[in-house]
Structure 1
């Protein structure tokens, strides 16, 4: 039977927690403690708030952060309810081994949003910016994470955008630092067609790309992420 795909108009403002980031990116204590961390296209995720509470130097960047924090939270809350309805209609297609159920998935999103909203109201670590041009100096971050943006919206953002975005992530990553991108599929659950060419570009720019297994295979076929070790 042919799977239906997840319908989405525009880029969703999603809410994911620290534990989800740990699983999907295979994060280790050493990576998190190595230096400054950047969550790109972070949306309403609480990863930065939770990372800061654990003593890590984490920052987030998103084009929505140019507006008031209360506006971000309202949009994220509406997205949670909308996405829950969509997931319910496609529930047989997803891998629920991490979340357990649709209701647990929704509860996790709401908890993440609450932590994000509270932290964003009082913290200056949420920066306005959008790929492929980020408001940071060269060689700023030891670890860069991009969850559910690059590759996922392949139809809306073509190969040239992805190439420019990866170059930009490499620019703001310190030599020897790591960039992690997940998932490698589009909203139609199709592998990103330009992945091999993008990996060749990374090598040409002095980086080293690796395909690593992800610990959060929720989307059908989303078993791997892309890790890039930035060059000098």
Structure 2
């Protein structure tokens, strides 16, 4: 039997994604978010916060990466982008390129998002919206955000973080979410492109805690089995 070809990842990768990617991962509608307070957890060097702010959304981001200087993040980001491009070039036939087009276009989008992030992170206002912290402990008061998102961290790193970590992390995301607000997590699978093995247990845990938990369809066809995100309504 042919061995399954998967993306190999050691440690937690730094991400540089754009606003439009967040729209597709989390099925965001600008009209629903203008004037709302939104948190991007483990956002890395994504340009979501910068772009969202320009649209009138009160976006903030949190990541341990933000202890680094803009120059250090930029250098690390470019190294990560080149490494990702090399890995993807060996797995071209595994992915759906409908959105990104090609490895080269994917790389160009990452560079653009990184540059936009660095510009915002370096600005006078940047210090107020980029927070240095890591799950499962966030530096915000309870019930602070209308929407809390986490992309390409929870579930994806199933082999590095155990079930207790995942439960604690989701509990923390819910803590900083306002009553009636939502937590959204994408994707639902690990690097092996299989659904997170403890997802039914995790869903049951938060349903019993009084939350409404649903798998919802995303619209970023790229990774195998990445067509859904988890929506938890507090």
Report the Cα offset of residue 53 of structure 1: 1.1
Among 149, 165, 169, the residue aligned to 1:165: 169
Distance 1:7 1:181 in 2: 21
Where do residues 64-75 of structure 1 align in structure 2 (5 Å cutoff)? 64-75=65-76
Where do residues 136-175 of structure 1 align in structure 2 (5 Å cutoff)? 136-175=140-179
Superposed CA offset, 1:5-27 (max 9, x none): 10111100010000000011100
Gaps of 5+ in 1: none
SS for the counterpart of 1:156 is: coil
SS for the counterpart of 1:59 is: strand
Where do residues 122-201 of structure 1 align in structure 2 (5 Å cutoff)? 122=123, 123-124=126-127, 125-201=129-205
Q: CA RMSD in A?
A: 1.0
Q: Residues 94 and 219 of structure 1 are in contact (CA less than 8 Å); yes or no, is this contact kept in structure 2?
A: yes
Q: Residues 35 and 56 of structure 2 are in contact (CA less than 8 Å); yes or no, is this contact kept in structure 1?
A: no
Q: Which moved more, 1:217-226 or 1:67-76?
A: 67-76
Aligned to 1:220: 224
Where do residues 21-60 of structure 1 align in structure 2 (5 Å cutoff)? 21-33=22-34, 35-60=36-61
SS for the counterpart of 2:161 is: coil
Distance 1:201 1:214 in 2: 23
Aligned to 1:93: 94
Q: Residues 34 and 55 of structure 2 are in contact (CA less than 8 Å); yes or no, is this contact kept in structure 1?
A: no
Where do residues 94-113 of structure 1 align in structure 2 (5 Å cutoff)? 94-113=95-114
Aligned to 2:209: 205
Query: How many residues align structurally?
Result: 230
Aligned to 2:20: 19
Superposed CA offset, 1:156-208 (max 9, x none): 00100000000000100000101110011111112101101111111122211
TM-score (norm 2): 0.96
Distance 1:50 1:164 in 2: 30
SS for the counterpart of 2:60 is: strand
Q: Residues 62 and 128 of structure 1 are in contact (CA less than 8 Å); yes or no, is this contact kept in structure 2?
A: yes
Q: Residues 189 and 219 of structure 1 are in contact (CA less than 8 Å); yes or no, is this contact kept in structure 2?
A: yes
Report the Cα offset of residue 34 of structure 1: 5.4
Superposed CA offset, 1:51-90 (max 9, x none): 0111110000001112212211211111000000000000
Gaps of 5+ in 2: none
Q: Residues 157 and 190 of structure 2 are in contact (CA less than 8 Å); yes or no, is this contact kept in structure 1?
A: yes
Superposed CA offset, 1:64-122 (max 9, x none): 11221221121111100000000000010001111111111111000000100000001
Distance 1:32 1:114 in 2: 24
Distance change (3 Å), C-alpha of 1:31 and 1:198: farther
Q: Residues 64 and 72 of structure 1 are in contact (CA less than 8 Å); yes or no, is this contact kept in structure 2?
A: yes
Distance 2:192 2:78 in 1: 24
